[in-house]
Amino acid sequence: MKLKLIPKCLAMGLVSLFASSSGVLAQADEKIDNLQKQIDALQARLNQAKDEGGRPGFLGNENETLKFNFYGETKWNIKNGADKPDPHRFVLIPGYKLSDYAYFLAEIEIEHGGVQDNPGRFDGMLELEQFYADVKITDNISWRSLGVSLIPVGTVNQYHEPDQFYSVHRPVMYKYIIPSTWFETGTGFFGENLAGREELSWMLYFSQGLTDDQGTFDSDGDWSPRGARPSLREDDGNDALAITAKLGYQKGNFSSSVSTYITSLERNNGTSTDMQLFDIEASYRFTEGAFRNFELIADYAWWKIDNPSIIGDNNVGEHMDGYRLEVAYHHMMGNNELVPFLRAEGYDNSSDGNYSGFVEAGSYNYLSYGAMYKFGTNWEIKATMRQSLDDDSKSEFSFGVGFQF
């Protein structure tokens, strides 16, 4: 009798199991339907955002319509026994995707705390350093619209965020020889894959020339083209065009570039002289072998001035040059990085003056050493000793904090 009940019990159990499974399957189907509805809703929101030109938001990535980047530096300098704090710069970089082939970028900079409005409180400036649109013509050629842009000479002049150089201050040649930050009103073209080689890039830029209308070539007591950068607004007596050409090479851990800047310096008294700047630089970072994590950097810039006597300063010669030779070591510490460095650098802004009354000012050479400690990718602290090999009064110790995001 009991044996006869077994099949019945099994049958009832199977029926219950199937019934239970059917309920589970029904619940699973319902969940899948709900998930599909959520996916459809998200897709609809995404499509709406695309139709409106991008999703809303203050910050974004390259694929979004609007984004903002920032960088800045604060420094504490000790020179000749005097301490000098300096909120050197804060830079806002808004960018806007105009279309799939056009992108707008600007760079607005506040230096040394702000524009002077109370003597002794602020001694800085507010500058529009970049303001242009890049328009893609072909896959390898783009046009940079008429606007304000950086002169493409030297890496540090084009890429001068605090983590792009390891010292607190930029190399000295980028103050007295290449007057960084050097920006002018102009337009030009740039591209990649030159002659079908992906490692080659190029840029051709047309801009305002230099001027000495106000006798401003003298900068910080040393003759320098830094004071010859023209006004972006006023008529400074120079109608000359400047042409800059740059060729870049990047392959693996090796990068280099050569660039030249050609112009005619004019004064409002009708005199003028042709000028040309040439720069060559290279860097290489070892990734294996006995020199793994070491980086070598070399940079040399040279000016040729055809007729320096018209400038009206007796220590202006036919040639100026500047250099830096640098070795750095990259020590990774998790997501952070310690970079000690040693740099030989210098400049000569007054040589070969073949005219009556010329007085050669001499050259200046430094040994700079220190370290940068970088926290992740967004900020770093630095300490640098710049030791003058010619004049102790020019030696300086600096501590700085930089950030970029």
Per-residue pLDDT, averaged over 143-155, amounts to: 95
Q: What is the pLDDT of residues 42-81, one digit of tens each?
A: 555 545 444 433 333 333 344 568 899 999 999 999 988 7
Answer with the residue of higher pLDDT: 236 or 73. 73
pLDDT surpasses 50 at 15: no
Per-residue pLDDT, averaged over 188-194, amounts to: 94
Give percent of the chain above pLDDT 70. Answer: 73
Q: What is the pLDDT of residue 83?
A: 86
Q: What is the pLDDT of residue 44?
A: 55
Mean predicted lDDT score pLDDT of the chain: 82
Q: Which of 48-52, 96-100, 334-338 has the lowest mean pLDDT?
A: 48-52
Q: What is the pLDDT of residue 260?
A: 97
Per-residue pLDDT, averaged over 340-355, amounts to: 85
pLDDT surpasses 60 at 351: yes
pLDDT surpasses 60 at 221: no
Q: What is the pLDDT of residue 49?
A: 43
pLDDT surpasses 80 at 279: yes
Q: Which of 11-20, 55-64, 207-216, 232-241 has the lowest mean pLDDT?
A: 55-64
Q: What is the pLDDT of residue 61?
A: 47
pLDDT surpasses 80 at 358: no
Answer with the residue of higher pLDDT: 405 or 386. 386
Q: Which of 8-22, 91-105, 308-322, 347-361 has the lowest mean pLDDT?
A: 8-22
Per-residue pLDDT, averaged over 263-289, amounts to: 88
pTM: 0.79
Answer with the residue of higher pLDDT: 127 or 358. 127
Secondary structure of the chain as H, E, C letters: CHHHHHHHHHHHHHHHHHHHHHHHHHHHHHHHHHHHHHHHHHHHHHHHHHHCCCCCCCCCCCCCCEEEEEEEEEEEEEECCEEEEEEEEEEEEEEEEEECCEEEEEEEEEECCCECCCCCCCCEEEEEEEEEEEEECCCCEEEEEEEEEECCCCHHHHCCCHHHCCCCCCCCHHHHCCCCCCEEEEEEEEEEEECCEEEEEEEEEEEECCECCCCCCEECCEECHHHHCCCCCCCCCCCCEEEEEEEEEEECCEEEEEEEEEEEEECCCCCEEEEEEEEEEEEEECCCCCCCCEEEEEEEEEEEECCHHHHCCCCCCCEEEEEEEEEEECEEECCEEEEEEEEEEEEEEEECCCCCCCCCCCEEEEEEEEEEEEECCCEEEEEEEEEECCCHHHCEEEEEEEEEC
Q: In the structure, what pLDDT confidence band is assigned to residue 216 with cuts at 50, 70 and 90?
A: low
Per-residue pLDDT, averaged over 256-274, amounts to: 86
Q: In the structure, what pLDDT confidence band is assigned to residue 119 with cuts at 50, 70 and 90?
A: low
Q: Which of 119-133, 189-203, 239-253, 303-317 has the lowest mean pLDDT?
A: 303-317
